[in-house]
Amino acid sequence: MCSDSDEDSVPLSSLAKRSRTTNEPLIVEGRQPEPSTSNSAPVISSTSAVPFVDPTVPKNQNYTWRNRHNPHDRPQWQNNHGPRQLQTPMYYFDCMFDDCVIKLLVKYTNIYAIQKNKLGNVTTSEMKCFLAILLYSGYIVVPRRYMYWEKSTDADFSIIYNAMSRDRFTFMMTHLHCCDHAQITTESDKFAKLRPLFDILNEIFLNMAPLEEIYSIDEAMVPYYGGHSCKQFIRGKPIRWGYKFWVGATRLGYVLWFDPYQGHAAIIPPAYGQLGIGAGVILRFADYLQFRHPGAPCHLFFDNFFSSIPPFTN
């Protein structure tokens, strides 16, 4: 470990892993940082000229590692933004699943039913009732779905069978959609059928989020045991089987942005394509925050999976 006065100039390839992942500031010889002249959010354009960034570290590149105090020249956080008045759980649910989300599900569910030569006529009230039954079945679990409509003494769920019939619920479960299959033009996005819903939810989550200073970025698992090309198995996790999502959240766990992991088919802007998946996720979330709150002195925290030398040196 280097002291305050000692400096080592050695090739990166000969450094131990602990030295390469140290939290000490990195200074590259012969390279001066360029000061920023704009406080607005960066605009990523696919048609603009993007400089090539080599994601690999050359063996003959020398770095100077220093252990010193790094003064902050950025604006300080002034006050803590948060909710001023607590509301009911139903109010918060309506904020997240607002009329735009409900109308989106109703529209494309009816379109898919027509494509299957069936009469849908799903209304917004039916869709809300359908979502309520799904939420209810999440914490009152029975061995079979049809048991919610039984009227026996040991399985009497009057709150469900009085709200919607079993056949109507099955019909909506079979034809539930949030996009039109005929309008899908891309084959690289494996979540194209859910992309309209993801985009609306990301926008709502960010608009409803309190403005804070500290944000965290990490992966999250959504349990799933069916068959899909994006299903992951991560040993040692509480949820080993399922979909992996990149999630940006506040320090208390409020999700502002999420995006499913797709492997080589990941959606990364061209400007960040040469930096790898980890750095691309971090920079996309940073652009996401700066677009909503330009110039806000936010701090992002992430583990060494998202850290690499090219994003910091380029």
The domain ranges of the chain are 1-34+56-69, 89-183, 195-313
Least Cα distance to 163 among 174, 173, 148, 145 occurs for 148
Burial class (CB in 10 A: 0-12, 13-18, 19+), 225: exposed
Identify which has the larger pLDDT, 252 or 176.
176
8 Å CB contact between 113 and 175? yes
Share of the chain above pLDDT 90, in %: 20
169 pLDDT tier (thresholds 50, 70, 90)? very high
Q: Is a pLDDT exceeding 50 seen at residue 28?
A: no
Token pair 């690999």 is at which residue? 56
Identify which has the larger pLDDT, 153 or 80.
153
Q: What's the pLDDT at 306?
A: 82
Considering only the C-alpha atoms of the chain, give the largest distance between any 2 of them, rounded to a whole number of Å. Answer: 79
Q: What's the pLDDT at 17?
A: 43
This prediction has a pTM of: 0.69
Q: What's the pLDDT at 18?
A: 43
Q: What's the pLDDT at 174?
A: 93
Helix (H) or strand (E) holding 255: strand 255-260
The 10s digit of each residue's pLDDT in 91-105 is 888 888 989 999 999
Q: How far is CA 23 from the centre of its chain?
A: 25
Q: Is a pLDDT exceeding 50 seen at residue 254?
A: yes
Instruction: Give CA–CA dist 115/286, Å, rounded.
Output: 41
168 pLDDT tier (thresholds 50, 70, 90)? very high
Q: What's the pLDDT at 305?
A: 81
Q: Is a pLDDT exceeding 70 seen at residue 83?
A: no
CA Rg, the chain, in Å? 25
278 pLDDT tier (thresholds 50, 70, 90)? confident
Virtual CA dihedral for 102, 108, 114, 115, nearest 10 degrees?
Answer: -160
Alpha helix ranges (H) inside the chain: 17-20, 89-96, 99-115, 124-139, 158-161, 166-175, 195-208, 277-292, 309-313
Instruction: Give CA–CA dist 94/180, Å, rounded.
Output: 25
